[in-house]
Amino acid sequence: MAEGAVQPDINHENEPENSDSANTTLNVVEMPQAELASSRPTVIWTPSFIVIFALTLVFGLSIESLLTQGWVSGYYMGKWIFQAYIMLIGISWLAILVLAGSNWIRLGSFFGCIWALFMTLNISITARLADSTSPVLGHVNAATCIALLGAYICLSIDKTPLSRMDAWFFGLAPIIGSIVVVLIYYITPDYARSLNILENAIATVALVLSLLVWWLRPTSWKTQPGPAFLFGSVPLILLLLAISYSIGFLRFNMSNFFLSHVVLYSESSADEAHFFYAQVALLFLLLGTMRILQHERRAYPQ
């Protein structure tokens, strides 16, 4: 009887200990699962977004071809086509600015909005001035390219682990870029030196750096291959258009990389290709902002 009386007390005393042990074991099992759930990568390419992205790309290229034919035929001026692109891209930058959960993305979208404002000012000035070589365009063009570079730097840094090569790149790029700008200015003959030449050099270097920020760094391709291709293609297309236009006509003014003066009129069949590819550059920029916006929506749901 004594053992029977003592036994329930022993079992009763061990019961909480067993319960605590079970809870501890359960917590140990659940903690890795919670950490695993929180560390899962954000699914960006959902079926609906894939369809929207593909339709935008396919219909965008098709519509650009039709718009180019209409522009060549003289049905409308190209400035309205460019301005429509700028409005869509500007709205995308604003949406990213509102929905962004990362400070880098928010700062990049802020620079993107500045880019859209300067692009609108660029097109407006070009539409009003008969002379596309006006010094005012040089000021606006330099500011536009610098704003694009600022947006690219912020977007490429976000969620990208900085390697030793990235540290060297961001440390040397400003120095080398400044040296190149100074060399371009002093290599220019004395009679041709002007503020416009300096601004053209700044715009050119800014576009080159915008390309290298995405395409020269392996970390960008590993962590953000989509934005790296889309955003990097924009300055590449603009630089190639500038070179081809300069070689073909020997009259290209580097004060306007977005070729707003070209879209106001057509002088030859070659302008048709420049007009089309200038639209492709803006389409790629729009697709890139769509990709960033989709990431922010999925990573930071409201």
Question: What is the pLDDT averaged over residues 37-58?
Answer: 83
Query: Which range (92-96, 119-123, 135-139, 182-186) has the least confidence?
Result: 135-139
Question: What is the pLDDT averaged over residues 138-152?
Answer: 91
pLDDT of residue 111: 97
pLDDT at 27 over 50: no
pLDDT of residue 21: 47
Prediction pTM value: 0.81
Q: Using pLDDT thresholds of 50, 70 and 90, give the confidence band for residue 28.
A: very low
Q: Using pLDDT thresholds of 50, 70 and 90, give the confidence band for residue 101.
A: confident
pLDDT at 288 over 60: yes
User: What's the chain's average pLDDT?
Assistant: 80
pLDDT of residue 34: 39
pLDDT, tens digit, for every residue of 46-55? Answer: 999 999 999 9
Question: What is the pLDDT averaged over residues 53-81?
Answer: 89
pLDDT at 3 over 60: no
* Structural fold of domain 47-299: Rhopdopsin 7-helix transmembrane proteins (1.20.1070)
pLDDT of residue 252: 45
Three-state SS annotation for the chain: CHHHHHHHHHHHHHHHHHHHHHHHHHHHHHHHHHHHHHCCCCCCCCHHHHHHHHHHHHHHHHHHHHHHHHHHCCCCCHHHHHHHHHHHHHHHHHHHHHHCCCHHHHHHHHHHHHHHHHHHHHHHHHHHCCCCCCHHHHHHHHHHHHHHHHHHHHHHHCCCCCCHHHHHHHHHHHHHHHHHHHHHHHHCCHHHCCHHHHHHHHHHHHHHHHHHHHHCCHHHHHHCHHHHHHHHHHHHHHHHHHHHHHHHHCCCCCCCCCCCCCCCCCCCHHHHHHHHHHHHHHHHHHHHHHHHHHHHHHHCCC
Query: Which range (34-38, 39-43, 110-114, 119-123) has the least confidence?
Result: 34-38
Q: Which residue has the higher pLDDT, 71 or 221?
A: 221
pLDDT of residue 33: 44
Q: Using pLDDT thresholds of 50, 70 and 90, give the confidence band for residue 61.
A: very high
Domain locations in the chain as residue ranges: 1-40, 47-299
pLDDT at 202 over 70: yes
pLDDT of residue 274: 81
pLDDT, tens digit, for every residue of 227-268? Answer: 999 999 999 998 888 777 666 544 444 555 655 544 544 455
Question: What is the pLDDT averaged over residues 213-223?
Answer: 93
pLDDT of residue 87: 95
pLDDT of residue 162: 85
Question: What is the pLDDT averaged over residues 72-101?
Answer: 89
